[in-house]
Structure 1
Amino acid sequence: MVDEYPEKRTITPSWEHLNAWSDEFMSEDMEELRRALDGIVFCLNVDDKATMKDLEPTIGVLEKIYELLGGAEWAGFFAIVGVSRSEDNENHAIVEDAATIRGFEYINLEEEGQNEFRDKLGKDRLVELFDTHDWSDIETSEDDGFAARKRKMAESMCQRLLDDDEKDMSSENGVNDVNVEEFENVIEKLKQARIKAESMEGAERNEYAQQVMEDVLLYL
């Protein structure tokens, strides 16, 4: 579902328009739609002065919607996506602070690559959010490509750990095949992930832990 407010695009959107939209969204007539939702992506233009001026009441409306859906107990995701002409716009940091403190994920759509925790940024993170979410209306097979790939990697790793043949565990120069530097990188990633997870709660923390686990497994 894609929607916008107000209905007439000749009118500059404001938090009052969003509030009117939310009243309709939270009405009894929309109960079936709310039950079907698995996530919400709210987009805003951080270059717009009116948007930044009304940031707090706008976030307040989003909080109201989030709480109606179940808050931290809701199985869906709630992300705020900021768009602008430049990723260096200082308003991104302002909106991110306002979003994060309320439990919303903030995605700067202009960013690229990964951060220091190897988390994806920008469009890649948005795609990842959709790809990794456990969609309620989609049944996946245990034998899908990703699961099979994980099993194959796990079997290989277990075999290397269980094999006590020195020839298999050592290289021709007598150096262990396990790349110590890569292993240390994994340990450091887990340490950083734990620090980041301490600031999260409930479903958000569980989702982040799942993401880290899959990243580490693929990295290994």
Structure 2
Amino acid sequence: MVAEAKQVIGQVFKRDDVFNEAGWNYVVEHHGGRLPLRIKAVPEGSVLPTKNVLFTVENTDPAVPWLTNFFETILVQAWYPMTVATASSVYRQLITHYLHLTHDTDEMAEYMLHDAGYRGVSSVESAALGGAAHMLSFKSSDTVAGTSLLRKFYGLEGVAGYSTPSSEHSTVTSWGRNRELQSHRHMLDTYHQGNNTHMHTHTFQNGT
């Protein structure tokens, strides 16, 4: 890996004096390739005000003091699920607030913001991270990958997000211009309970 990195970085910068080959070989020889880094973080799921440190990275070997900065790019990828989780949490608070002002119960609040963001992200992995983050505040979701992540890494039994048979572009337009009414009738006849007949389901796109 060190040899490959030397070759690639040399071509990227078009010079041979940028990549610290000796330093990386030191990591291999003295630490068996393991990184001498100590990472500390607040407990996962903590709700913190702004201007707080979320995690720190500390070098434990003074011979390679430059090592910490190399991993900033990887570690800041935690930004994405944290941002989705924060946004969904704020939306949940807003929805609950106005339900209290206008309704006699807020028991349906957790179903009132639906995630159809699977189609709006860059990969299945992104869908899983964003979808799971949304499910911390809401139970309404088409992003099944979020449930899969929670089942695999957090021991979830069952599912965390629920959906309904819904009408949208293709399920209506495929009936033709003059048969729109029949398309909705068919939906209601096929799914007697729990259907959601609306023209557009993309009510929330993770990260977009």
TM-score above 0.5, yes or no:
no
Structure exhibiting the larger radius of gyration computed from Cα positions: 2
- Structure that is richer in helix per residue: 1
| Alignment TM-score, normalising by the size of structure 1 | 0.27
TM-score with structure 2 length normalisation? Answer: 0.28
